[in-house]
């Protein structure tokens, strides 16, 4: 209770101070928890600290992540590493063409012995959900995730069932393989706070990665360094990170520019603006600050916005053209002082 009351003072402080200078005890716990999570995952995902941090930022910002990359770069391993780093319930759904919505949400099942129906929750009911190869299932099943990701609940037979808190979805897909896949519709991709690519490791990191797996997989020995309560504490702290008016105006100017850009058919929505601000708050906490700076906006712009705009050239969100357009917009906007 004492730590919670200390955290609640964050929103009343003035920008320019670090979180630690405002409430030293709570801030020490917050920063230590985030650092431990990041370091624990980096024991398995080597040489990708920036991607690890962004995924964890999505977690503490109450968002979800779409990992898009070629097979073998560590998308599933990333999700498993985060799940094993947090003492919370974990579920993995391997999406296939024959998967039904009830297979993931759960359903009402009749009990002959009791002569009544009872609720049987599906694998969706977990703190951390790995939706593996999400584009390999039908749009009907993909859409079953919509309510869960947006409202943290599932409605079956007109009855709503709340999901556990925290609830975090990490979905994976290979964007280069289209045979037998169902591309995510725009309303589905818009539910993901961030869209990220892990990318290939550099030579030194790849050598270290291979050597670390010669004797055993480090994922097998990975233990938890946080629990669901820790994540809830981090999420509460993120909500209290300050966003100054000029920095918010800078972020909204970038959002507005996506709607007026000559190469963009459909620009970012108001939901994208909220997502950008929330991600910046998470990046500020990760950086040990209680306020957002323009650098946070610049770093968050591509992973938050590229999958939410539709360039005229490609007619699809999340393309390389979309990322280049966002970078061009960010580069052309005056940074507030």
CA distance 105 to 302: 31
Q: What pLDDT, on a 0 to 100 scale, did the predictor assign at position 30?
A: 85
pLDDT digits (tens, 9 = 90+) for 264-321: 999 999 999 999 999 999 999 999 999 999 999 999 999 999 999 999 876 566 667 8
> Of 76, 86, 68, 102, which is closest to residue 167 (Cα–Cα)?
86
> Of 136, 133, 154, 137, which is closest to residue 145 (Cα–Cα)?
154
Our CA angle for 229, 230, 231, nearest 5°, is: 90
**CB burial of residue 221 (10 Å; 0-12, 13-18, 19+):** exposed
Region of 275 (left: φ > 0; alpha: ψ -120 to 50; beta: rest) is alpha
Q: How confident is the model at residue 246 (pLDDT cuts 50, 70, 90)?
A: very high
pLDDT digits (tens, 9 = 90+) for 148-197: 898 889 888 888 899 998 999 999 998 877 777 788 888 888 999 999 99
pLDDT digits (tens, 9 = 90+) for 65-112: 999 988 888 888 998 999 999 998 899 999 999 999 999 999 888 888
When the pLDDT of each residue in the chain is averaged and rounded to a whole number, the result is: 87
Check whether 60 has a pLDDT greater than 90. yes
CA distance 309 to 320: 11
Structural contact between residues 122 and 83, judged by C-beta atoms closer than 8 angstroms: no
Q: What are phi and psi of 278, to 5 degrees?
A: -65, -40
Q: What pLDDT, on a 0 to 100 scale, did the predictor assign at position 8?
A: 33
Residues 6+ apart with CB under 8 A from 335: 250, 294, 298
> Taking residues 48-73, what's their average pLDDT?
94
Instruction: Give the rounded distance of the alpha carbon of 155 from its chain centre.
Output: 23
Residues in the chain: 337
Q: Return the residue matching tokens 């100017």.
A: 253
CA distance 225 to 56: 13
Domains in the chain with CATH codes? 48-226 (3.40.50.300)
Local structure of 118: helix, strand or coil: strand
* Peptide bond connecting 166 to the previous residue in cis, omega within 30 degrees of 0: yes
Q: What pLDDT, on a 0 to 100 scale, did the predictor assign at position 107?
A: 87
Check whether 323 has a pLDDT greater than 50. yes
Q: What pLDDT, on a 0 to 100 scale, did the predictor assign at position 4?
A: 42
Check whether 207 has a pLDDT greater than 90. yes
List Cα–Cα distances, 304 to 3, 79, 164, 202, 273, in angstroms: 31, 19, 25, 25, 9
> Taking residues 45-62, what's their average pLDDT?
96
Check whether 37 has a pLDDT greater than 90. yes
Residues pairing with 68 in the sheet: 173
Q: What pLDDT, on a 0 to 100 scale, did the predictor assign at position 23?
A: 42
Q: What pLDDT, on a 0 to 100 scale, did the predictor assign at position 252?
A: 97
**Which segment of 51-55, 212-216, 223-227, 285-289 scores lowest on mean pLDDT?**
212-216
Q: What pLDDT, on a 0 to 100 scale, did the predictor assign at position 317?
A: 61
Instruction: Give the rounded distance of the alpha carbon of 74 from its chain centre.
Output: 16
Q: Where are the alpha helices (DSSP H) in 201-319?
A: 203-212, 228-239, 245-260, 270-286, 294-305
Q: What pLDDT, on a 0 to 100 scale, did the predictor assign at position 285?
A: 95
CA distance 333 to 318: 22
Our CA angle for 184, 190, 194, nearest 5°, is: 100
Check whether 13 has a pLDDT greater than 90. no
Q: What pLDDT, on a 0 to 100 scale, did the predictor assign at position 12?
A: 35
Check whether 260 has a pLDDT greater than 70. yes
Check whether 7 has a pLDDT greater than 60. no
């Amino acid at each position: 209770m004492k730590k919670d009351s200390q955290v609640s003072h964050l929103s009343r402080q003035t920008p320019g101070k670090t979180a630690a200078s405002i409430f030293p005890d709570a801030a020490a716990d917050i920063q230590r928890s985030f650092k431990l999570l990041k370091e624990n995952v980096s024991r398995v995902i080597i040489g990708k600290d920036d991607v690890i941090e962004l995924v964890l930022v999505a977690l503490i910002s109450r968002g979800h992540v779409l990992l898009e990359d070629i097979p073998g770069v560590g998308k599933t391993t990333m999700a498993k590493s985060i799940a094993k780093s947090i003492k919370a319930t974990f579920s993995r759904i391997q999406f296939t063409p024959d998967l039904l919505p009830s297979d993931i949400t759960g359903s009402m099942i009749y009990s002959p012995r009791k002569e009544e129906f009872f609720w049987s929750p599906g694998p969706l009911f977990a703190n951390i959900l790995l939706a593996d190869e999400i584009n390999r299932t039908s749009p009907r099943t993909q859409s079953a995730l919509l309510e869960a990701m947006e409202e943290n609940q599932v409605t079956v037979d007109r009855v709503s069932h709340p999901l556990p808190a925290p609830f975090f979805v990490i979905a994976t897909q290979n964007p280069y393989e289209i045979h037998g896949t169902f591309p995510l519709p725009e309303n589905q991709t818009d539910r993901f706070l961030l869209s990220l690519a892990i990318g290939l490791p550099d030579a030194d990191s790849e050598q270290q990665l291979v050597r670390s797996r010669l004797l055993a997989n480090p994922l097998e020995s990975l233990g938890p360094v946080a629990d669901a309560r820790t994540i809830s504490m981090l999420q509460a702290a993120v909500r209290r990170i300050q966003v100054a008016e000029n920095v918010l105006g800078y972020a909204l100017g970038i959002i507005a520019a996506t709607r007026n850009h000559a190469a963009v058919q459909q620009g970012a929505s108001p939901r994208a603006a909220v997502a950008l601000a929330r991600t910046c708050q998470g990046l500020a906490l990760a950086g040990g600050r209680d306020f957002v700076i323009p650098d946070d906006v610049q770093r968050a712009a591509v992973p938050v916005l590229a999958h939410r705009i539709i360039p005229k050239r490609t007619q699809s969100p999340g393309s390389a053209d979309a990322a280049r357009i966002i970078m061009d917009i960010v580069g052309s906007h005056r940074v507030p002082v």
